[in-house]
Amino acid sequence: MESKTQFPDPSQVREELIEKYPAKVAKKRNKSIIINDPETVPEVQANVRTVPGIITQRGCSYAGCKGVVLGPTRDVVNITHGPIGCGFYSWLTRRNQTKPETPEDANFITYCFSTDMQEENIVFGGEKKLKVAIQEAYDLFHPKAIAIFSTCPVGLIGDDVHAASREMKEKFGDCNVFGFSCEGYRGVSQSAGHHIANNGIFKHMVGRNNEKKEGKFKLNLLGEYNIGGDAFEIERIFNKCGITINSSFSGNSTVGQLENAHMADLNAIMCHRSINYMGEMMEAKYGIPWMKINFIGAESSAKSLRRIAEYFGDAELKAKVEEVIKEEMPKVKAVIDEILPRTSGKTAMLFVGGSRAHHYQDLFSELGMKTVAAGYEFAHRDDYEGREVLPGIKVDADSKNIEELKVEADPELYKPRKSEAELEELKAKGLEINSYEGMMKQMMKKSLVVDDISHYESEKLIEIYKPDIFCAGIKEKYVVQKMGVPLKQLHSYDYGGPYTGFEGAINFYRDIDRMVNNPVWKLIKAPWQKTADSEKESLSASYVTQ
């Protein structure tokens, strides 16, 4: 869709963004700053190393493995093997909510477990200390599972966390102990940690419990981490429709759920980036297809519900889904009718993670707002351009670092949930079966797509476009707000949420309305900073342009 709004010439913007860089850096960044065309979808350079010295938004492999994928499961004891500084990240730091069924049920999310490695352990090895820590955790909590996460020094000194885990697992007999080689440097970003986590959960957890749960339409919700209660809202809607969440990867999840995941009939994937490996491996081993869904945005939620019903192909379910949509939509519509006149025509920029920079564009478009620039921190080309580019992606040395599991059909448990012909028929109906279209096909022509945006580039973009809202995280928040532009945190939701489903859409509309229509942003500049020309302007990144 071509925009009617007048925006700066994007080629000129790109020039301006890279102009101050040394030639080599400019050449590299040029490949990650792309002028979008939804028809032809140009190639984006993604999932490559950040240029040293550039301030990136990215995190590390340990963050992706422990923090993102394993963190939200409440009854695993997650031990960080490393110095205490990394240990900070072993407890709840990401607003991933959880709801134990009874007050007695295990919930270790609020605990912080670390082996607290000292210089002595770095010099003489830390495995002994690790085993003592595992024993202590077992004696104190008797958990169903203990997971060990390697931080950078562990890989450097060569501690074998896998052997230590195996030894302790055998010793206990009733506790599943396994380790992750997710040292921070394993990849170019947290994305490597996602892959490592997927492999570990697949190898050590999925398939251990063949119990058949109740429910006619059973799916796994993949890539939904229950930030701000998002998964609770999806569960509320599913319950109304009669759809059962067999297991969730991994918001509000338990060890038992993950071990039983192979008994579901569909893997519905919210965040493709962090968990697509799991979808593929479960398809190969158990015959469960995966399908991309999106519950961010009221329209997208309705569409996703219809797709799930179409997948199961049951007339009663389809009717129920329509009934639920009819019931939920009027309250959404009432709020949008009130807010739309105030938000319509405003502009947004989204630079976050590996999936939300795409998903949240749906909510902004429901608000009548335009996304003028967006990008992921650590996604791969397929998240931008669509999965059809996968065969053409060169595997570089950084990606080779991560094990690709060889997965074969399970001799007993492999059961294709749909035949090839049925899958083709579903695809023909527009269902994204085992595929994902990516972000760019949905974005406006001539909007900017920037991968792994630098701090400097963010400031320049704000200066040039003066967007009405900028979406990123806590590291960017106050710098951006000091420029007179409100920043919405799309990682933690600024203590708000949920933003999924119908209730979530309403929450989001209201929060964004309050932010973009708040007059305070025009008052950011201190009186002594004002000149006659800049009186009306918001603060600019003047130190950048001088």
- For 237, 321, 512, the CA distances from 326, given in Å and listed in that order, are 12, 9, 25
- CB closer to ligand CFM out of 60 and 154: 60
| Residues 224 and 234: beta-carbon distance below 8 Å | yes
Q: Does 349 bind ligand CFM (CB under 6 A)?
A: no
| Stretch in the footprint of ligand CFM (CB under 6 A) among 41-49, 175-183, 347-355, 474-482 | 347-355
Q: Closest distance between ligand CFM and the C-beta of residue 65, in Å?
A: 10
Q: Does 47 bind ligand CFM (CB under 6 A)?
A: no
The correct pick among 32, 90, 181, 190 for binding ligand CFM (CB under 6 A) is 190
Residue 281 binds to ligand CFM (criterion: CB under 6 A): no
Residue 63: active-site member: yes
DSSP result, 8-70: --HHHHHHHHHTTS-HHHHHHHHTTEEE--TTT------S-PPPTTS------HHIIIIIIII
Return d(Cα 501, Cα 331) in angstroms, integer.
12
Instruction: Please identify, among the stretches 27-35, 145-153, 351-359, 432-440, the one whose residues bind ligand CFM according to the rule CB under 6 A.
Output: 351-359
Helical spans, DSSP H, in 272-391: 272-286, 298-312, 315-343, 356-366, 381-385
In 3D, which of 466, 437, 310, 456 has the Cα closest to residue 361?
A: 437
Q: How large is the greatest C-alpha to C-alpha distance in the chain, in angstroms?
A: 77
Catalytic, out of 14, 29, 46, 63:
63
Write each residue from 366 to 405 as x if it is in contact with ligand CFM (CB under 6 A), else as -, in one continuous string. Answer: ----------------------------------------
**Contact flag: residue 353 with ligand CFM (CB under 6 A):** yes
From the list 208, 206, 145, 207, the residue with the least C-alpha distance to 179 is 145
List 14, 74, 186, 194, catalytic entry: 194
Q: Which of 29, 356, 387, 525 binds ligand CFM (CB under 6 A)?
A: 356
Q: What sign has the CA pseudo-torsion 65, 432, 501, 480?
A: positive
What b/e sequence results for 459-492 when a residue is b if at least 16 CB atoms lie within 10 Å of its CB, and e otherwise?
A: bbbbbbbebbbbbbbeebbebbbebbbbbbbbbb
Among 269-277, 406-414, 450-458, 530-538, the segment contacting ligand CFM (CB under 6 A): 269-277
Stretch that binds ligand CFM, among 255-263, 271-279, 400-408, 459-467 (CB under 6 A): 271-279
If binding is defined by CB under 6 A, does position 46 make contact with ligand CFM?
no
> What CA–CA distances, in Å, run from 349 to 92, 212, 230, 381?
28, 45, 22, 20
Catalytic residue from among 29, 46, 60, 195: 60
Part in contact with ligand CFM (CB under 6 A); list of ranges 267-275, 306-314, 453-461, 513-521 = 267-275
Q: Are 471 and 296 in contact (CB under 8 A)?
A: no
Nearer Cβ to ligand CFM (271/317): 271
Catalytic residue among 29, 94, 380, 381: 94
How far is residue 197's CA from residue 189's CA, in Å, rounded to a whole number? 14
Cα(first)–Cα(last) distance of the chain, in Å?
37
Q: Verify whether residue 65 is a known catalytic residue.
A: no
Q: Nearer Cβ to ligand CFM, position 186 or 525?
A: 186
Question: Which of 13, 34, 68, 237 contacts ligand CFM by CB under 6 A?
Answer: 68
> Under the criterion CB under 6 A, does residue 274 sit at the interface with ligand CFM?
yes
Residue 488 in contact with ligand CFM, rule: CB under 6 A: no
Return the residue nearest ligand CFM (CB atom): 353
**3-state SS, residue 224:** strand
- Report how far residue 5's alpha carbon sits from residue 2's, in angstroms, rounded to the nearest whole number: 9
Is residue 153 involved in binding ligand CFM (CB under 6 A)? no
Q: Which is nearer to ligand CFM, 227 or 288 (CB)?
A: 227
Per CB under 6 A, the segment of 77-85, 219-227, 299-307, 338-346 that binds ligand CFM is: 219-227
Beta pairing partners, 34 = 449
Q: Contacting ligand CFM (CB under 6 A), which of 46, 145, 201, 227?
A: 227
Q: Is 186 in the site for ligand CFM (CB under 6 A)?
A: no
The amino acid that residue 232 corresponds to is F
Strand, coil or helix: 243: strand
Distance separating alpha carbons of residues 30 and 149, to the nearest angstrom: 36
Sort strands 266-269 and 217-224 into parallel, antiparallel or unpaired: parallel
Residue 94 within binding range of ligand CFM, rule CB under 6 A = yes
Token pair 């301006």 is found at 16
Instruction: In whole angstroms, give the CA distance from residue 363 to residue 379.
Output: 20
Please, which residue, 230 or 503, has the CB nearer to ligand CFM? 230
Contact between 352 and ligand CFM by CB under 6 A: the answer reads yes
Ordered DSSP codes for 161-186: HHHHHHHHHHHHSSSEEEEE---GGG
Rounded to a whole number of angstroms, the CA Rg of the chain reads 24
If the CB atoms of residues 91 and 414 are measured against ligand CFM, the closer one turns out to be 91
Quick one: which segment of 3-11, 352-360, 386-394, 406-414 binds ligand CFM (CB under 6 A)? 352-360
Does the annotation mark 162 as catalytic? no
**Annotation says 194 is catalytic:** yes
CA 470 – CA 202 distance, rounded (Å): 37
Is residue 225 a contact point for ligand CFM (CB under 6 A)? yes
Of residues 97 and 347, the one with the C-beta less far from ligand CFM: 97
Interface residue list for ligand CFM (CB under 6 A) = 64, 68, 94, 190, 223, 225, 227, 271, 273-274, 352-356, 491
Q: Which residues carry out catalysis?
A: 60, 63, 94, 194
